[in-house]
Amino acid sequence: MTLTTSVTSQNPALPVHRMHLPFLDGMRALAALWVMLGHSHLFAYGWLNHSNALMRPLNVLLYLHLAVVVFLVLSGFCLALPVVLNGLQLRVSYREFLKSRALRILPPYFATLILILIVNYFFPIATWARNASGLTSTIPWQVFAVNFSLMQDFFPQLNTINGPFWSIATEWHLYMFFPAIIVLLRRFGASLLLVLATAIAWCLVWLSEHPPIFFHEHQISILYPPYFIFLFVMGIFAAWLVYGQHSQEKVKKRARIFSIVAALFFVYFLYLMEKFSIHDMKSAGAFFERIKVIDSSFAIVVAASLALLARSSSRNWIKRFLEQKLLTGLGKFSYSLYLVHIPIFAVVHHYIEEMHLPTNLQHLHFILLSVAGTILTLGFAWGFAKIFETRLWLRALNYFWNFKNRGLVQV
């Protein structure tokens, strides 16, 4: 969910100018729309799929979780771009890196959190979103503590204020390890880093399934979901594969090998999607029992797609589609879309339910919710991003502080 797409090339095989990869914004936009419309589908239909040939394409919305995989692989890719092009060296100190990430991630997150709490004080939006356990008239202090400290990946059962917050906590903590990951990449190479990340991820998965007694008694998870570190490193690996400091012959050779591996995992991914496809609540449970394997396979496919698109010419039709102004424009505030859509869709869903539509008009419910919810979310998220994603809030605060100080001096 980051937006680091402008870097200065240090690779002699690349032109030395400010490189911009607008297709990344297009991918973000599609991922954000996938999540938004996926939640609209869940509100209207639940976990039921469509057998009608005309409605069957909507079944892809049941797999909105995969959009989070896209976001995380993109984060690793975008963060790694300037580092890889700078000879695997961070341009700033660890402290400056975390400060930059904090100013990018935290203000929109906390603004959304506080806004939801204020609105929920007057209107029970949590109940409308079918998640009344966290937002009630008496919110447990544990919910406040976990959400304000971004610890949902250690206490996922308390992530009851806004569903999408769970992935923000995981990504935030992965950022803390990014400089260490780059050190390992520089010292051991990308292949060994990938092996190491895979081993760590699956060790953490095993540990989460066999938690120590203390963790079990206090319902503490371990970087939920623990395999996300593999997804993050896959994005870093894709950036290194395309822009690493090696000859074009090696780039082509490694890209060819990675493409073959990714193709095999794509076939495996399709097999898993077919075998564990979602039809109802029960099959959804079976799907999510295999989610770590499904997510990991899909992450490899996404990483390979990023590498191929980055190397492809501007005439590539997929790249041209992703670089449309509409999509790239949406991608620039996709983080805000991801954060704020649930409460807005919950409100729209509530008022549609109050219309008491006949049960055989679920399609009308979905259409009304998708159209009204998307329009309202796009408008609100655009303005929200202008304030909190562009650091307008910080400039306003600095202006106020300077104005106040000037006033004190004049007195």
Mean confidence (pLDDT) of the chain: 86
Q: Looking only at Cα atoms, what is the longest distance across the chain?
A: 75
Q: Has residue 207 been placed in a domain?
A: yes
Q: Has residue 1 been placed in a domain?
A: no
What per-residue confidence (pLDDT) applies to 7? 38
Q: What is the DSSP string of 334-353?
A: HHHHHHHHHHHHHHHHHHHH
What per-residue confidence (pLDDT) applies to 16? 36
Strand partners, 409: none
Comparing 73 with 259, the larger pLDDT belongs to 73
C-alpha–C-alpha distance, residues 190 and 98, integer Å: 23
Confidence of residue 139 (pLDDT cuts 50, 70, 90): confident
Angle between helices 65-85 and 228-243 (to 10 degrees): 40
For residue range 158-172, what is the model confidence (pLDDT) as tens digits? 888 888 999 999 999
Q: Has residue 345 been placed in a domain?
A: yes
Q: Has residue 355 been placed in a domain?
A: yes
Confidence of residue 15 (pLDDT cuts 50, 70, 90): very low
Residues of the domain holding 283: 6-410
Identify residue 236 by its one-letter amino acid code: I
For residue range 357-391, what is the model confidence (pLDDT) as tens digits? 887 788 899 999 999 999 999 999 999 999 998 87
Is the pLDDT at 305 greater than 90? The verdict is: yes
Q: Has residue 140 been placed in a domain?
A: yes
**124 is written with which tokens?**
């029970």
Burial string for 275-303 (b: 16+ CB within 10 Å, else e) reads ebebeeeeebeebeeebbebbbbbbbbbb
Give the three-state DSSP class for 193. Answer: helix
What per-residue confidence (pLDDT) applies to 140? 84
Highest mean pLDDT among 47-56, 62-71, 310-319: 62-71
Give the three-state DSSP class for 198. Answer: helix
291-300 mean pLDDT: 96
- The answer for residues whose C-beta is within 8 angstroms of residue 280's C-beta and 6 or more apart is 47, 48, 49
Structurally, how many domains does the chain consist of? Answer: 1
Q: Has residue 11 been placed in a domain?
A: yes
Q: Has residue 160 been placed in a domain?
A: yes
Q: Has residue 220 been placed in a domain?
A: yes
What per-residue confidence (pLDDT) applies to 396? 61
Between 26-35, 122-131, 347-356, 400-409, the lowest mean confidence (pLDDT) is in 400-409
% of the chain with per-residue pLDDT over 70: 87
Comparing 129 with 321, the larger pLDDT belongs to 321
